[in-house]
Amino acid sequence: MIIDINFIGLIIASIMASAVPLILASCGELITERSGVLNLGVEGMMIIGAISGFALMTVTGSLIIAIFGAMLAGVLISTIFAFLTQTLITNHVATGLALTIFGIGISAMIGKNFVGIPGKEFPVLFEGLKNTIPLLGPILFGHSIVFYFAFALPFITSYFLKKTKIGLIVRAVGDSPESASNQGINVRLVRYACILYGGAMSGLAGAYLSMIYTPQWIENMTGGRGWIALALVVFSTWNPIKILIGAMIFGGLTIIQFHMQAIGVRIPVQFLTALPYIVTIIVLVVISRDSRKIRLSTPSSLGKSFHKDN
Amino acid sequence: MNTNLKISNVTKIYPGCVANDNVSLEFNSGKIYALLGENGAGKSTLVKILSGVIIPDEGKIYLNENNLKLNSPLDAKKNDIGMVFQHFNLFETLSVFENLIIDSDEKREGLREKIDTIMKKYNFSIDLDIPVLNLSAGQKQKVEIIRSLIRNPKVLIMDEPTSVLTEQETSELFLSLKQFSEEGILIIYITHKLKEVMQLCDEVAVMRRGKLVSVSEIKNENIESLANKMVGQNLKTIKKTKEKTSSEQLIKITNLNFISDDPFETNLSDINFSVNRGECLGIAGISGNGQSELFQVLSGEIISDKNSIEFNKNYIGDLNPQERREYLMAFSPEDRLEQAAIPQMAIFENVALNNFKSSNFFNNGLINESKIKEHSKKIISDFNVNTDNIDLKSQFLSGGNLQKLIIGRELITSPDLLICFNPTWGLDVGAINYIHETLIKINEQNKSIILISTDTDELLKLSDKISVIHKGKLSKIMNAEEVTSEKLGILMGGGN
């Protein structure tokens, strides 16, 4: 069998495309968690983003409105979470779970009218360059703007956390909200901002799914990707670059197991489907074993409510 | 320039407690002021008001005649009031430099230069690029001080700064504070340690139950007079009467080693010691030198080689704490609310917790509540725990009362050996006195104590023999009469 080198490039590109929503949602959640907030509502925020993006695109016809509208929808639903956990000091875990259930329910309700409607084609960049370089051409060129943004995001996130003052404040709040508050940092404001940012990124991840990756609305179309995104954050030990690695492995195995199923490899389908989950977690655990680094990058106040007493 | 800080008629009322009752005080730069009082006397509240953490119900603060509005810690900072809290306000996982730059408006390079100048001037040496969690308590405090100094404060408030420091670190701190004072910074020093007030301060204000009871110059005071003002009654001084201890060996530790998987724990190497009946062995050391690991190994939280611990002629190194208790060992861990008691459970429930087998608290798996309550009441009255409500959640007990309760609970089986880890940490004079008396009584009943403590005065007062732990190794065991606090200080720092 002769394998076209550009075919390999296309497979790699499809792996990368499947990693995009994971990277977006994980990097958003990473910022939220670095500020000490555990938002388990990623799946819910993603699906809200997915239906909002698709619905707005269908109704307004504008891709820009649809993309930003999806992000805004993520922000709005995460505002509920922020209000509950930061202002009313509810439990992060319970509130996050409720958010996911709420998101899945409401998206299904809104989505009823959008089932079966075909999506629109999303413009891609550098289409013409695709065939200029063998192998690398299909990998590098001919993708949507969201795709490029997603692959820049881990590096931007890493730079933001390490090098900028606001990044430092986010880490400080996640490390010790009490100390931060005593330093005059408005802990609640920082946490609100981080939760809302996480919501925006989850919304964008959802919109990518319904508008670019598989341009249509299917009920429950996020299919657990929000949970994987959450797992990536934890198993990457809050390191954006490792999130990128994890998302690629997960995306890669998902695509490859499809191909294996298609070829008819004699391995039980259930095992193949489970494979990406298992391998991703094993790999991330193995590359994140340095307990010193874990201690340094784990937000000490993660999931704990901060109540300023006066 | 002279700095004048005036607190005028400050009142702060919490439900059920007047934390500050019409307090007025005046401070002038060039002097070091002590604010003295027991836990709960209201000094922390006053300090929090000065640093903007708490807003008073009534009263005003004036700095150089200007009425200050202190609504947040930021306001205090802006008004040149620096503050070093007892519990550090540091971010453990961030580097020292990140901790310092976070609330500074300066550029990286400029700030680094400034920090270097401060460190040189006051002889501090701290690596700016390592995470704070790798620093010792003394170094962390220096980071806090540098953080204040960066802003050129007019007022520097130190809240119980020596509770975590060694003897040497304390004298270093005092030197720095005197230097600051000479440079015109107004120093307010909050403490309940009388010796330090006498050593360091020029004037002393004493608070009791939210009220200011006296302001006086140090030269007119002595330790006894201050103690009596602070407690409001005459304190008896306790002293251990030296008796001949028996030569019967109770516990013997042989070649005990512990290697931790956690890089933030200390490994113990080659621990050897023995304690006779009726004896108190003190183990001194700067915190973080393996005390907590040693306590865990002795109590069975960490299990070691069976033969490494011989207790009452039994080898018990591989037993867990519950099993060790059956051999009549008892434990009082350092962290009263996290390790010794469960904060959300009632007093009587906490009393029942460590006695599963040797008591009649449980019948066929059911809780015998009346028995437990009866016993809890006995502990409360025998050990002078200041509450009559045994249904109270233990988190609402003050540190002193909780410690008394824990020691009382541990003594229920009349154990042969009590192992204590910093039993008087953070307690006030009255409670410390009581705990010390209790420990002496235990020795008098021919029971033994292993006292792991970072308080050298306490060790010298209570121990018959003393050893020092440094980087997980024990020094040779010395007779307490031959030891001075200076000698302990040198050993604690790793010297000979």
Contact status, residue A67 vs residue A24, Cβ threshold 8 Å = no
Interface residues of chain B, partner chain A, Cβ below 8 Å: 51, 53-55, 72-74, 77, 85, 88-94, 98, 101-103, 131, 133, 261-264
Picking from B103, B133, B263, the nearest residue to A184 by CB comes out as: B103
For A28: left if phi > 0, alpha if psi spans -120 to 50, otherwise beta; the answer is alpha
* pLDDT exceeds cutoff 60 at A44: yes
* pLDDT exceeds cutoff 60 at B115: yes
CA distance A95 to chain B (A): 23
Residue numbers in A near B53 (CB within 8 A): 182
pLDDT tens-digit series, residues B206-225: 998 889 999 999 999 888 88
The average pLDDT across B142-161 equals 92
The average pLDDT across A180-208 equals 95
CB contact under 8 Å between A183 and B261, yes or no, is no
Quick one: B406 and B486 in the same domain? yes
**Residue A43 binned pLDDT confidence (cut-offs 50, 70, 90):** very high
pLDDT tens-digit series, residues A45-87: 999 999 999 999 999 999 999 999 999 999 999 999 999 999 9
Last residue of a domain, one of B173, B199, B231: B231
Q: Say if A87 is an interface residue toward chain B (CB within 8 Å).
A: no
Quick one: B331 and B431 in the same domain? yes
Contact status, residue B71 vs residue B79, Cβ threshold 8 Å = no
Quick one: B224 and B320 in the same domain? no
The average pLDDT across B396-405 equals 84
Find, in chain A, the residue whose alpha carbon is nearest to that of B75.
Answer: A184
The average pLDDT across B392-408 equals 84
Picking from A165, A179, A292, the nearest residue to B90 by CB comes out as: A179
Between A296-300, B62-66, B237-241, the lowest mean confidence (pLDDT) is in B237-241
Please give the structure tokens belonging to residue A281. Answer: 């977690």
Q: Which among B286, B203, B269 is positioned nearest to B472, based on CA atoms? A: B269
- Alpha helices, DSSP H, located in A264-308: 269-287, 291-297
Residue numbers in B near A188 (CB within 8 A): none
Please give the structure tokens belonging to residue B123. Answer: 């002889």
CB pairs under 8 A between A and B: 63
- A209/A205 Cα distance (integer angstroms): 7
pLDDT tens-digit series, residues A134-146: 888 888 999 999 9
Last residue of a domain, one of B184, B205, B231: B231
Percent with pLDDT over 90 in chain A: 66
Quick one: B309 and B374 in the same domain? yes
The average pLDDT across B303-323 equals 90
CB contact under 8 Å between B93 and A310, yes or no, is no
Quick one: B289 and B372 in the same domain? yes
Query: Based on the structure, what is the number of domains in chain B?
Result: 2
SS3 B284: strand
**Residue B439 binned pLDDT confidence (cut-offs 50, 70, 90):** very high
SS3 B444: helix
- B169/B403 Cα distance (integer angstroms): 27
- B42/B227 Cα distance (integer angstroms): 16
Q: Say if A186 is an interface residue toward chain B (CB within 8 Å).
A: no
Quick one: B293 and B368 in the same domain? yes
CA distance B83 to chain A (A): 10
Number of residues that this document lists for chain B: 496
Residue with tokens 């995306």, as numbered in its chain: A251
SS3 A146: helix
Picking from B55, B74, B101, the nearest residue to A184 by CB comes out as: B74
CB contact under 8 Å between B73 and A296, yes or no, is no
Q: Where are the domains of chain A?
A: 5-297
* pLDDT exceeds cutoff 60 at A309: no
- B34/B196 Cα distance (integer angstroms): 9
Quick one: B124 and B270 in the same domain? no
Would B44 be classed as within a structural domain? yes
Residue numbers in B near A175 (CB within 8 A): 91-94
Q: What is the pTM of this model?
A: 0.76
CA distance B56 to chain A (A): 10
CB contact under 8 Å between B73 and A181, yes or no, is yes
* pLDDT exceeds cutoff 50 at A123: yes
**Residue B16 binned pLDDT confidence (cut-offs 50, 70, 90):** low
Mutate to test the interface with B, among A183, A189, A290 (most CBs of B within 10 A): A183
Find, in chain A, the residue whose alpha carbon is nearest to that of B87.
Answer: A179
Residue numbers in A near B73 (CB within 8 A): 181-184
- ipTM confidence score: 0.83
Would B271 be classed as within a structural domain? yes
- Edge-to-edge strand ranges of the sheet holding B32-36: B81-84, B155-159, B186-191, B32-36, B203-208, B211-217
CB contact under 8 Å between A172 and B101, yes or no, is no
Would B236 be classed as within a structural domain? no
Please give the structure tokens belonging to residue B360. Answer: 């009649």
For B167: left if phi > 0, alpha if psi spans -120 to 50, otherwise beta; the answer is alpha
Would B277 be classed as within a structural domain? yes
Most confident range (mean pLDDT) of A202-206, A306-310, B2-6 is A202-206
Please give the structure tokens belonging to residue A304. Answer: 């704990």
Looking at per-residue confidence, does A77 or B287 come out higher? A77
Quick one: B181 and B269 in the same domain? no
Query: Buried b / exposed e across A210-232, counting CB within 10 Å, b at 16+?
Result: bbbbeeebbeebbeebbbbbbbb
Mutate to test the interface with B, among A176, A182, A189 (most CBs of B within 10 A): A182
Residue numbers in A near B94 (CB within 8 A): 168, 171-172, 175
Domain with B20 in it: what CATH number? 3.40.50.300
Would B453 be classed as within a structural domain? yes
Q: Which among A154, A205, A164, A188 is positioned nearest to A47, based on CA atoms? A: A205
CB contact under 8 Å between A180 and B91, yes or no, is yes
Residues sharing a CB contact under 8 Å with residue B81, sequence separation 6 or more, in sequence order: B50, B51, B52, B63, B70, B153, B154, B155, B157
Percent with pLDDT over 70 in chain A: 98
Residue with tokens 């306000």, as numbered in its chain: B89
SS3 A219: coil
pLDDT tens-digit series, residues B447-472: 999 999 988 888 988 999 999 999 89
Quick one: B74 and B221 in the same domain? yes
Residue B160: predicted pLDDT: 85
> B218: domain range?
4-231
Picking from B55, B91, B103, the nearest residue to A175 by CB comes out as: B91
Looking at per-residue confidence, does B365 or A235 come out higher? A235
Picking from B88, B94, B261, the nearest residue to A175 by CB comes out as: B94
Would B382 be classed as within a structural domain? yes
SS3 B420: strand
- B129/A221 Cα distance (integer angstroms): 46
CB contact under 8 Å between B93 and A171, yes or no, is yes
Q: Helix crossing, B429-444 with B399-410: angle to 10°? A: 10
Last residue of a domain, one of B197, B231, B265: B231
Residue A232: predicted pLDDT: 93
CA distance B268 to chain A (A): 20
Return residues 278-297 of A near B (CB < 8 Å): 291-292, 295-297
Residue A310: predicted pLDDT: 43
pLDDT tens-digit series, residues B415-432: 999 999 999 887 877 788
Find, in chain B, the residue whose alpha carbon is nearest to that of A177.
Answer: B91
Between A135-149, A170-184, A235-249, B243-257, the lowest mean confidence (pLDDT) is in B243-257
Q: Which among B229, B184, B235 is positioned nearest to B211, based on CA atoms? A: B229
pLDDT tens-digit series, residues B25-78: 999 998 999 998 877 788 888 988 998 888 999 999 999 989 999 888 888 888
Picking from B55, B74, B92, the nearest residue to A175 by CB comes out as: B92
The average pLDDT across A216-229 equals 93
CB contact under 8 Å between A295 and B264, yes or no, is yes
Residue A3: predicted pLDDT: 66
pLDDT tens-digit series, residues A275-293: 888 888 888 888 778 878 8
Quick one: B185 and B258 in the same domain? no
- Edge-to-edge strand ranges of the sheet holding B309-311: B268-276, B249-258, B309-311, B314-315
CATH class of the domain whose range is A5-297? mainly alpha
CB contact under 8 Å between B90 and A298, yes or no, is no
Q: Say if A180 is an interface residue toward chain B (CB within 8 Å).
A: yes
Quick one: B478 and B339 in the same domain? yes
The average pLDDT across B328-355 equals 85
Percent with pLDDT over 70 in chain B: 96
Quick one: B192 and B133 in the same domain? yes
